[in-house]
Each structure stands twice: as structure tokens, then as C-alpha cells.
Amino acid sequence: MSPELEVILAAHQTLLRERLHSCLSTLHPLLRADVVFALQQPGKLLYSVEQAQATSSSYPPAGSWALLTFLSALCVQPTLSLEAVSSVAVALECFICALDLLDDVEDEEQTALLQVLGVPRTVNVATVLLACSQQLLLAVEHAGIEPARVLTLQGLFQTALLQATGGQHRDLLAEQRSVTELTLEECIEIATEKAGSLMALACLAGAVLAQADEQSQSLFAELGTLLGIAHQLDNDSHDLYAILQESAMYGPSGILKREGQEGSFAPSGKTDLRRGKKTLPVVLAARELKEPVPALERSALQQGIVATWGISLLYRERAGECLRKIDALHPIPPLLRSLLRLS
């Protein structure tokens, strides 16, 4: 990112952080401390402000979800009220942070935050963040946005919530199914619901706030959906790759056993893989073997990883085409282009 863009990025992040702190200021100090802690986790808007400033070139930047909404809105209507757009952007940040916390609890992740707060406080923080998100959306009306548009925005958030939780539920249920039952199409559907719906919301909320026409709104939603799917598949392939790399460290046969321990075990990789999440690379690997398998060959897994990464690249290609269509209607600001990393 060029130094000029970094300055603009830092200014936007400061504005968004001020809006967030203003919203959180009404919370009891003990509760606020936990909520702030959640929003200080890597990638979130309050992530280590000093460290983020020192390494401003790190990607994605702190608060990238809020920035996506913020920049989408300003792309459509550059003169939009900053009070309104920052409120919607921060509402989105709180909303995503809440869902991330709930996902971590449901997936029994051992994140740094869960280790400090424990499950009950983490769930309560998630509930608070959902309430803050609603409050921030309601506050948009005070910034001169008519009630009908506020209602539309709230509707978008609720729809995305239902889609994302629907996808999460299907994902949880898939843990109990045989890996050979799942198909490419079903994995893509789940990724669309879980991840596509949320990134679509991030892009669409900005466009709706900025009163984009129907065609533009549809393109922003499509852009978010494609990017969300691409991101999910990229994560799935890289998580499995990391586990394979780690497994190679345990004995020449690659069998996942530590010396002195009985039986196979899951390495310290992502918990969702240990739990039996049927991510696309695993499903593709199982399909290659064409029979129910108690164990998957490393070569089939490697093939599944490469194929999944290829499909994630395909979705990024499609997102790039979508972005070019938006660009023809609303010139894409350089910072948004840089955030999306699309040509």
C-alpha cells in the first residue's frame, strides 16, 4: 500500500474507532473492558492500535470489515454523512465480531480470548455486541437518514444473520455425517451461507446507505458473496495444508503419533478439522478414493488442497469481474481496491 493510502487508511480507522468508543462508552466499565478486549483481537477494529500503526502495511488492516462497508458507501456517494457511514460500518464490525465469538464457542476453539474470558463471558460479550450493532443502526437516523432506509438496513442485518447461522448449523450437522456423503455443491452452498452472506452484507449495507440503484446494489452483494466464498475456501485449504505440514513432523510414515503416546491424535491445528468439519479439501480427497475410508491418503489430501485453492481463485476471478462492472458505474477508490486486493 502506498504511503498516501496508508495515511487515508489511518484516518478512516481513527474515525471508526472514535465512533466505536462513543457507542461503548455507555457500558458498565467491567463489561466494556471485555467487549474492548474482543474488539482488540487480530483483525478487529481495535486490534493493537500501536502495533497496527507500527506495521500499517500488514494485511488485512485492523477493522477491515468496517472499512469494507465504509468504503463501499463512499464509493457510491463520496459526500455521504461521515456520521451515518461510520455508524453503519461500526455496526457491521460489532455484528461480525459477535458472530465470530459465537462461532468460536460453537466450534470449541481454544482462542486467546476464550482462554481469558471463558465461555459464559464470551457469549455475553457476543450478545452485547449484537445489541450495540442494532443501537448503531438506529443511531443512523440521528445523522439525517430517513427511517425507511434505517429499517432496510436492519432488515439486511437480520437476513444475513439468518443465512450465516443457517450455514453454521449445516456445518455443525455435517460433523456427524460421513465425509463421502458431502458434495462440492453442498460445500459451496455452506460457504455461501456462512461466509458469503456476511461479506455480501458488508458490501451491500454501504451501497444501500448510499442509496445506490438496484443494479449497483445487486453488484455489491454479488461482489461480497464471491469474496466471502473465496475467503472461506482459501482458509479451508490453508488450514489443512498447515496440518499436513505439521503431521509430516511426526515420524517418517507421517502417522500422527507422538513418541510415548498411544493412538493417533489431532495436531495443534485448527479445531474445526479436529472436530470433523467436512471442509471442501477433505471432501474432495475422500471423493478421489471412491470408497468409505477410515483414513485419507496424504496425496489425495494434497490434491484436495490444490483443487480447493483453485476454486477459491476462480471465485476471486469472478469477484474481479464483478468489481470491474461496479467500477464502470462508480469509480472504485484506490483504498477499496487495495483492501480487496482485486485487479
Partner 1 sequence: MEEQQILDFVRRVSVDESLRREVVETPEHVIAREGFSPRVASVIARLIPHLNVEQPTERAVLTWWT
Q: Using CB under 8 A as the criterion, which residues of the chain lie in contact with partner 1 when the complex forms?
A: 178-179, 184, 188, 243-244, 247-248, 252-256, 264-266, 273-278, 282, 284, 288, 293-299, 301-303, 306-307, 309-311, 313-314, 317-318, 321
Q: Is the dihedral of CA 222, 228, 229, 230 positive or negative?
A: positive
142 vs 324 by CB, closer to partner 1: 324
22 vs 302 by CB, closer to partner 1: 302
The distance of closest approach from Cβ of residue 176 to partner 1 in the complex, given in angstroms and rounded to an integer, is: 12
The distance of closest approach from Cβ of residue 303 to partner 1 in the complex, given in angstroms and rounded to an integer, is: 5
143 vs 306 by CB, closer to partner 1: 306
Q: In the structure grid, which three cell numbers stand for residue 199, read together?
A: 461479506
Tell me the C-alpha distance between 43 and 145, whole Å.
29
Other CB atoms within 10 Å distance of the CB of residue 44: 23
Tell me the C-alpha distance between 76 and 282, whole Å.
40
The distance of closest approach from Cβ of residue 318 to partner 1 in the complex, given in angstroms and rounded to an integer, is: 7
70 vs 241 by CB, closer to partner 1: 241
23 vs 227 by CB, closer to partner 1: 227
Q: In the structure grid, which three cell numbers stand for residue 121, read together?
A: 463471558
Do 341 and 269 touch, CB atoms closer than 8 A? no
The distance of closest approach from Cβ of residue 256 to partner 1 in the complex, given in angstroms and rounded to an integer, is: 6
Do 67 and 16 touch, CB atoms closer than 8 A? yes
Q: In the structure grid, which three cell numbers stand for residue 169, read together?
A: 448449523
226: Cα within 13 Å, side-chain hemisphere: 19
Phi, psi of 55 (to 5 degrees): -125, 60
DSSP string, 285-319: HHHHHTS--SS--HHHHHHHHHHHHHHHHHHHHHH
The distance of closest approach from Cβ of residue 178 to partner 1 in the complex, given in angstroms and rounded to an integer, is: 8
276 vs 331 by CB, closer to partner 1: 276
The distance of closest approach from Cβ of residue 277 to partner 1 in the complex, given in angstroms and rounded to an integer, is: 7
Amino acid at 266: A
The distance of closest approach from Cβ of residue 243 to partner 1 in the complex, given in angstroms and rounded to an integer, is: 7
Q: Where are the alpha helices (DSSP H) in the chain?
A: 3-24, 29-39, 49-54, 64-76, 82-106, 112-139, 147-174, 184-191, 197-209, 214-247, 271-274, 280-289, 298-329, 334-340
190 vs 311 by CB, closer to partner 1: 311
The distance of closest approach from Cβ of residue 167 to partner 1 in the complex, given in angstroms and rounded to an integer, is: 18
30 vs 295 by CB, closer to partner 1: 295
Amino acid at 306: V
